[in-house]
Amino acid sequence: MAPKTENTPDNFIYLLTYLLEFVSGIFVYATVAQDNKRIRRHAIQAILLGIVSVLAYYLFLIIALGILSSVITLLIWLYCLYLGYEASKGNDVEVPILTSYVKSILK
């Protein structure tokens, strides 16, 4: 898919989708994503990344690696911002395991 060169309202939607992962993913899915399959895919992907982030945080917290759990959560959030930025430019980045799972759900 060729990158978008013009600023459209959809560009901001992709950034918003990944901003707060789980919460903003649900918001975008419930309000905007019903008409656009690409936005719906990114919203589901953001929700799943939010769940992965929370699970990773608590998993490493249980293992008594508190600082590491915070760092991993921060890295996942930064990765989500990168995904939102690339999606707003029209590029779809493949997230290992999650992207193929989301595509299989939306078939």
Determine the residue type at 56: A
The pTM (predicted TM-score) of the whole model is 0.85
* 39, 13 Cβ separation under 8 angstroms: yes
User: What is the DSSP secondary-structure string of 30-72?
Assistant: HHTTTS-HHHHHHHHHHHHHHHHHHHHHHHHHHTT-HHHHHHH
pLDDT of residue 10: 74
Q: Mind listing the pLDDT tens digit for each residue in 3-44?
A: 544 556 778 999 999 999 999 999 999 999 888 899 999 999
Q: Find the distance separating the first CA and the last CA of the chain, reported in whole Å.
A: 19
**Domain ranges (residues) in the chain:** 9-102
Alpha-carbon gap, residue 94 to 91, rounded angstroms: 10
